Amino acid sequence: MTQITLQSIQKNYAGSVQVIRDVDLDIAAGEFCVFLGPSGCGKSTLLRMIAGIESITAGDLHIGGVHMNEVPPAEREVAMVFQNYALYPHMSLYENMAFGLRQAKVDKAEIHRRVSEAAEVLQITHMLDRLPKALSGGQRQRVAIGRAIVRRPNVFLFDEPLSNLDAALRVHMRTEIARLHRDFQRASAVYVTHDQTEAMALADKIVLLRAGEGMLTHGSIAQVGAPLDLYHHPRDMFVASFLGSPRMNFLPATVQAVDDHTLTLQTDASAGGERLQLPRQGRRVAAGARVTLGIRPEHLLPGDMGGATLLRTVQQVEHFGEYSYVYLQGLPGEPLIAKVPGRSSALAGDRTPFTVPDPAYHLFDDASFAIAAQ
Ligand SMILES: Nc1ncnc2c1ncn2[C@@H]1O[C@H](COP(=O)(O)OP(=O)(O)OP(=O)(O)O)[C@@H](O)[C@H]1O
Ligand SMILES: [Mg+2]
């Protein structure tokens, strides 16, 4: 069982600005940890530092309790699966998977045992004598994962392994990777993606990273937690807007009044200008404070059901069968989006009410930090 610990990890590329700042992280033995974040935030850099193929500028990396900063990749007992997995075109699938083991002088019977077992798990036994060109993208990706499995690593590292596949195959392979992880429970996995759906589906723990100004001010890690933890309790507006699709709606507002049970907000004139009464739920906020109200698209329910109601002009409706997106007048150039189950009857130009069901809102202070319910 292998635990991975990162302490005060920093990364500066020669001559460039800092790309990783103040990363403190524990990845438990057997855990499936996902690095998520926008392009350029340093996900691959952080993964490559764990693999040992990128140097660590400062801080300490331990794998299984051993200090790893200077240990070469081959001695870390980690296996990495990349987005652009190159299989040897002239070798059969069997040879592709066996190659690394032959190089490591593993004996022939043991190689046969490991390749057969991996092929069984990946359901590619019947095609082991084929060449890579005779495979679909998903089958090739399985061979790339097979090459990692046969090494019996303590840690699997994946860098966007599915992003070259079409949408349906991506979902299929995602469930396969989850199943593999269950089958190999003793191994830890670190998985990089910019796709929040993939992260939510796979992760025991999501590490959401940020880039640019936010990283320099607050460090690289925006929030760490179980997927639903981040979804329901985002620490700030960056986290709130990164998880969930379409993203959370934001309305700037002023707190008009606060009593034990109720908050009264006035949204800015440019954002609708309505007065909204919301349950306070123990939030610590004072009258007069500038805040941002956050409402997820699924929490704008069509109709006036009492409570907090937004009366808005419909700009556009998109139908997806199972649900519809209704675009409502919001901030200039930034419509509010309601995700309505089934086929919405709203039409562009309608002026129509949407209700925020009672507990379902988020509130952020003027520095964009969540003012959480208590
Ligand atoms: N070898 C390098 N030299 C200098 N800068 C680099 C190098 N590799 C990456 N960077 C920079 O470091 C930052 C982080 O890069 P990284 O590849 O880790 O991002 P990422 O989160 O994996 O992005 P993506 O989602 O696009 O793959 C980027 O700004 C990138 O330009
Ligand atoms: Mg990357």
pLDDT at 235 over 80: yes
Percent of the chain with pLDDT over 70: 99
pLDDT at 323 over 70: yes
Mutate to test the pocket of ligand 1, among 16, 48, 158, 191 (most ligand atoms within 8 A of CB): 16
* pLDDT computed for residue 165 by the predictor: 79
Ligand 2 centroid distance, CA of 164 (Å) = 13
CB–CB of 155/79 below 8 Å?
A: yes
Q: Whose CA is nearest to atom 4 of ligand 1?
A: 13
Mutate to test the pocket of ligand 1, among 41, 50, 210 (most ligand atoms within 8 A of CB): 41
Ligand 2 centroid distance, CA of 44 (Å) = 4
Neighbours of 295 (CB within 10 A): 22
Ligand 2 centroid distance, CA of 37 (Å) = 10
306, HSE (Cβ side, Cα atoms, 13 Å): 1
Query: Is residue 130 lining ligand 1, measured as CB closer than 6 Å?
Result: no
Q: Residue range 298-323: average pLDDT?
A: 94
Spatial separation of the C-alpha atoms in residues 87 and 363, rounded to whole Å: 50
pLDDT at 1 over 70: no
Query: Is residue 44 lining ligand 1, measured as CB closer than 6 Å?
Result: yes
Strand order in the sheet with 188-193: 78-81, 155-159, 188-193, 32-36, 205-209, 221-225
Q: Residue range 303-328: average pLDDT?
A: 94
Mutate to test the pocket of ligand 1, among 11, 45, 157 (most ligand atoms within 8 A of CB): 45
Ligand 2 centroid distance, CA of 139 (Å) = 23
Q: Whose CA is nearest to atom 18 of ligand 1?
A: 42
Domains of the chain are 4-242 (3.40.50.300), 249-364 (no CATH)
Query: Is residue 161 lining ligand 1, measured as CB closer than 6 Å?
Result: no
Spatial separation of the C-alpha atoms in residues 110 and 101, rounded to whole Å: 9
Query: Is residue 73 lining ligand 1, measured as CB closer than 6 Å?
Result: no
CA angle in degrees (0–180, nearest 5) for 187-188-190: 140
Q: pLDDT category, 86, cuts 50, 70, 90?
A: confident
Query: Is residue 39 lining ligand 1, measured as CB closer than 6 Å?
Result: yes
Tokens of 80: 């990495």
How would you write 201-262 as a 3-class SS string? Answer: HHCCEEEEECCHHHHHHHCCEEEEECHHHHHHCCCEHHHHHHCCCCCCEEEEEEEEEECCCE
Share the mean pLDDT of the chain.
Answer: 93
Partnered with residue 356 across adjacent β-strands are 308
Query: Is residue 3 lining ligand 1, measured as CB closer than 6 Å?
Result: no
Q: Residue range 153-169: average pLDDT?
A: 87
**Cβ-based neighbours of 314, under 8 Å, separated by 6 or more:** 326, 327, 328, 346, 347, 348, 349, 350, 351, 352
pLDDT at 267 over 90: yes
pLDDT at 185 over 80: no
Mutate to test the pocket of ligand 1, among 9, 12, 36, 43 (most ligand atoms within 8 A of CB): 43
> Would you call 348 exposed, middle or buried from its count of C-beta atoms within 10 A (0-12, 13-18, 19+)?
exposed
pLDDT at 333 over 80: yes
Measured from the alpha carbon of residue 194, the closest ligand is: 1
CB–CB of 328/312 below 8 Å?
A: yes
